[in-house]
């Protein structure tokens, strides 16, 4: 009786097993690598806003401190986006006829909030607290990058868990802390 399988069949089988193995192990590896790519994390992707707001001008030319507008940063979990009335505090006086500021005036007088596009997004199960970081001497730029040089704000950090952990494990590498950094690497520090 002739052999049921040709000698080549063995080779095919081995190749098939190997391919299956590569597929099984490779797919998750690739997917895990993929979600960490800037395309997914949204880094370096300038976000269009309903108002042409230029941080360069406000921070560098007008020398306004970040917390003038984002005033929750050192007290609250959220840094906060300024209310329209904060814009109008200045722009009721200066550039109050500017075409670019028309949406701001409309918002103010029609009592209709401006709907900004979110740039930095953490998942809902992550509880980040701005106040504790800002008061510890972490400057805004450590995480948000040189916003003062951005015409349109973009995310510069991946905001992945490992990125948080890198800093909490070895903070000295990233900035000069004002007080000893809590080595918070346990889950419930952020996940509640």
Partner 1 sequence: MTEDRDNSPDAMVRRTFLKLLGTGVGLAGLEACTGRLPEKIVPYVQRPREETPGIPRFFATSAVLDGFATGLVVETHDGRPTKIEGNPEHPASLGAAGVHEQALLLQLYDPCRARIAHRRGAPVSFDGFRAACQEWKGVHFLLEPTGSPLIAELLSKIPGAVVHFRSALETRGPSEARRRLLGKDLVPRLDFARARRILALDADFLAAGPFHLRHARDFAATRTVEDMSRLYVVEPCPTPTGLAADHRLARRARDVELVGRAVLDHVLELMGDRRGIPALALRSEDAAFARACARDLWAHRGRALVVAGERQSRGAHAVAILLNELLGGAAYSESPLLVGEPLPTRAETLVVMGGNPGYSWPDFAELAANAKTTVYVGLYEDETARLCDWFLPRAHVLESWGDARARDGTVSTIQPVIAPLHGGRSAAEVLSCFVANPPDPASLYSRETLARGFVQGSALPLVSAPVRWEAAPALLAKPTSSPGIELVFAPDPAVHDGSFANNPWLLELPDPTTKLTWEKAALLGPATARELGVATEHVLSIARGRESIEIPAFVVPGHAEGSITLPLGYGRKGAEKVAAGLGVNAFPLAGSDGFATASRVERVLWKNVFHFPPRQSPKTRRLATTQHHDRLEGRKIVEETTLAQVATRPHDEKLPVFREGPQWAMTIDLSKCTGCNACVLGCQAENNVPVVGMEGVLQGREMHWLRLDRYVSGADEDPRFSVEPMLCQHCEKAPCEYVCPVNATTHSPDGLNEQTYNRCIGTRFCSNNCPYKVRRFNWFAYTERWSESERLALNPDVTIRQRGVMEKCTFCVQRIREKEIKARIEGREVRDGEVQTACQQACPSRAIVFGSIADPGSRVARTWTDPRRYAVLEELGTLPRVQYLARVRNPNPELET
Task: Give contact residues for partner 1 (rule: CB under 8 A).
Answer: 42, 45, 47, 71-72, 75-78, 80-86, 107-108, 111-118, 121, 123-125, 127, 129, 131-132, 135-136, 179, 182, 186-189, 191-192
Closest CB 83 distance from partner 1, rounded Å: 4
| Contact assessment for residue 50 and residue 103, using Cβ atoms and an 8 Å cutoff | yes
Return the closest-CA partner of residue 157 out of 31, 34, 38.
Answer: 38
Identify which of residues 5 and 23 has a Cβ nearer to partner 1 in the complex.
23
Question: What span, in angstroms and rounded, lies between the C-alpha atoms of 165 and 41?
Answer: 16
Closest CB 108 distance from partner 1, rounded Å: 6
Return the closest-CA partner of residue 153 out of 140, 139, 168, 137.
Answer: 140
Closest CB 70 distance from partner 1, rounded Å: 11
C-alpha angle with apex 20: 18 to 25, nearest 5 degrees? 95
Closest CB 15 distance from partner 1, rounded Å: 27
Strand partners, 155: 43
| DSSP string covering 74-104 | TTSSS--PPPHHHHHHHHTTSSTT-GGGHHH
Identify which of residues 49 and 141 has a Cβ nearer to partner 1 in the complex.
49
Closest CB 118 distance from partner 1, rounded Å: 4
Question: What span, in angstroms and rounded, lies between the C-alpha atoms of 102 and 38?
Answer: 34
| Contact assessment for residue 75 and residue 92, using Cβ atoms and an 8 Å cutoff | no
Closest CB 173 distance from partner 1, rounded Å: 22
Identify which of residues 95 and 109 has a Cβ nearer to partner 1 in the complex.
109
If one counts every other C-beta atom within 10 angstroms of the C-beta of residue 130, the result is 20
Identify which of residues 47 and 64 has a Cβ nearer to partner 1 in the complex.
47
Identify which of residues 90 and 189 has a Cβ nearer to partner 1 in the complex.
189
């Amino acid at each position: 009786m002739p052999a049921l399988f040709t000698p080549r069949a063995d080779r095919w089988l081995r190749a098939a097993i190997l391919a299956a193995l590569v597929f099984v192990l490779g797919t998750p590896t690739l997917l895990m690598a993929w979600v960490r790519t800037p395309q997914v994390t949204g880094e370096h992707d300038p976000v269009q806003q309903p108002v042409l707001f230029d941080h360069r001008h406000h921070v560098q030319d007008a020398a306004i401190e970040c917390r003038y507008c984002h005033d929750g940063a050192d007290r609250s979990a959220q840094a906060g986006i300024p209310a329209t009335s904060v814009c109008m505090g200045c722009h009721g006086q200066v550039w109050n006829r500017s075409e670019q500021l028309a949406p701001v005036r409309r918002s103010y007088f029609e009592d209709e909030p401006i709907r900004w596009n979110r740039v930095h997004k953490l998942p809902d199960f992550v509880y980040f607290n701005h106040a504790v970081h800002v008061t510890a001497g972490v400057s805004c730029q450590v995480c948000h990058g040189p916003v003062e040089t951005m015409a349109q704000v973009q995310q510069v950090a991946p905001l992945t868990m490992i990125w948080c952990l890198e800093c909490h494990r070895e903070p000295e590498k990233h900035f000069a802390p004002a007080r000893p950094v809590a080595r918070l690497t346990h889950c419930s520090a952020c996940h509640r």
